[in-house]
Amino acid sequence: MKIVIIGAGSTVFTPGLIADLTGSPALADATVALVDIDPASAETMARYAERVARERGVGLRVEYATDRRRVLEGADIVTVTIAVGGARAWERDVRIPEAHGVWQTVGDSVGPGGVFRALRHVPELVAIAHDMEQLCPDAWLFNYTNPLSALVRAVHKTSSIKAVGLCHGVLHTRAEIARELGLRPADLGITVAGLNHLGWVLDLRHGSDDLYPRFREIVRRQLASPPPPPENDPYAGFQEVSARLLEIYGLYPSPGDRHVAEFFPFFLRRGGDRLDYGLQRGLDMTNSILASRDDRWDRIVAQANGATELDRALFDEAREGERLVGIIEAMTADRPLAELAVNVRNDGLIPNLPPYAVVETPGLIDGRGVHGVAVGPLPEGIAGVLAARVRQQELTVDAALSGDRQLALQALLADPLAPSVEAAAAMLEAALATHAPHLERFAP
């Protein structure tokens, strides 16, 4: 088994995936090829992976490169976790809209930030897929990069490569709902479907017992008398936006207010110097992540160099990479595996969304690969919200592939967070200028 990680300098994803690979008896002697355009990042992560494998006593083979084409040949699995422009570009995706009075809690999937990020990332994902067509045409591409839905759609639209998006958001939702219901997450049956970062909980069960009525009552009580939120985790505790959406649409959204609110701009308003509806926690988390990457990287470097002990707590935690390893094991062994969420082409899984849409549904994994599970039509109010986003993402993908400024402006204006034509045009020009090295298609 050969697994290629493109964007291996990720300080969150790569260490977790290395921990999971070295903990898997079926994959501990696989070859992992780490690719990053920064030579220091690629080499450091390779030394880190080699140390983890050595101290855990497994035969994981490690390669690294700055040119993905050097290692793609013979790959079985390609996973992508890139950030074109790095944390600096993400920060600009957030700050440019703020300068025009547009507030986002993350800015990585929808809103102006999601459009800007897609303009940078779509061409790179498509280029990776085209390289795979030449060097490993039978490999599966698993994408973690945001905006996840738009990027997987771009690969489907331009390539024959089998591409799936993975996101751990539904796992967070299950854990939080289970906590409210007094259950272990593993004991809670949950069905979620929709789009990435805006799925909807269709069913909640413990065995044959329908727990949705009890959960609705808990949420109603919380709305009437909101409990104090945890300080450090915006995904934990009472989610006011999600609670209000449950009242409006009859279903609870996933994966938490930090992402969900960006699909509903009327929640993203300022009360004084802070966001309302408890959303300031989400923006604070984004600002903290943008400020802390250097600290996380310094810790990885120290572990790679042997200057400090390995963070062994990582080996016992469920990480972003954990689901990927389980999926690879199931595909390799042709062992059926149910997954809470996969992002795949719709083709009738949700019949009242366009067939070409990349939807998030439960999945089934086996020796033939990754399959979405049909969930039937969604309530029309919800389907309308999602369908509008699907069409906006299609505009965004077309703009990113063509370099057409008019299409890019249309994509921005299709987002409810755009306050006016003038503001959208100004934001677009600022983003195109700021990100010019990564947006060559848009050069005048």
Pair type for strands 270-271 and 274-275: antiparallel
In tens, the pLDDT along 225-266 reads 999 887 778 899 999 999 999 999 999 999 999 999 999 999
Residue 320 has pLDDT above 70, yes or no: no
Tokens read off for 239: 């989610």
Tokens read off for 186: 């593993």
Express as a percent the part of the chain with pLDDT over 90.
89
The full set of domain ranges for the chain reads: 87-103+167-307+319-444
Distance CA 236, CA 324 (A): 24
Residue 383 has pLDDT above 90, yes or no: yes
Q: What is the pLDDT of residue 230?
A: 79
Pair type for strands 209-210 and 189-195: unpaired
Cβ atoms of 214 and 225 within 8 Å: the answer is no
What is the band of 107 on the pLDDT scale with cuts at 50, 70, 90? very high
* Closest CA relative to residue 409, chosen from 424, 394, 420, 423: 424
* Partners of 342 in the β-ladder: 361
Point out the least confidently predicted range of 23-32, 147-156, 216-225. Answer: 23-32
In tens, the pLDDT along 158-207 reads 999 999 999 999 999 999 999 999 999 999 999 999 999 999 999 999 99
CA distances to 95, 111, 392, 413 from 419, in Å: 16, 11, 16, 9
Distance CA 228, CA 2 (A): 47
Q: What is the pLDDT of residue 319?
A: 58
In tens, the pLDDT along 4-56 reads 999 999 888 899 999 999 999 999 889 999 999 999 999 999 999 999 999 99
Run of H or E including 78: strand 77-80
Q: Considering the chain, what is the average pLDDT of its residues?
A: 95
Q: What is the pLDDT of residue 293?
A: 65
Q: What is the pLDDT of residue 73?
A: 97
Residue 438 has pLDDT above 90, yes or no: yes
Run of H or E including 280: helix 280-304
Please state the rounded mean pLDDT for residues 87-103.
Answer: 95
Q: What is the pLDDT of residue 232?
A: 78
Run of H or E including 346: none
Cβ atoms of 427 and 96 within 8 Å: the answer is yes
Distance CA 424, CA 430 (A): 10
pTM of the model as a whole: 0.96
We find that the CATH architecture of domain 87-103+167-307+319-444 is Alpha-Beta Complex (3.90)
Express as a percent the part of the chain with pLDDT over 70.
98
In tens, the pLDDT along 273-304 reads 899 999 999 999 999 888 876 678 899 999 99
In tens, the pLDDT along 408-429 reads 999 999 999 999 999 999 999 9
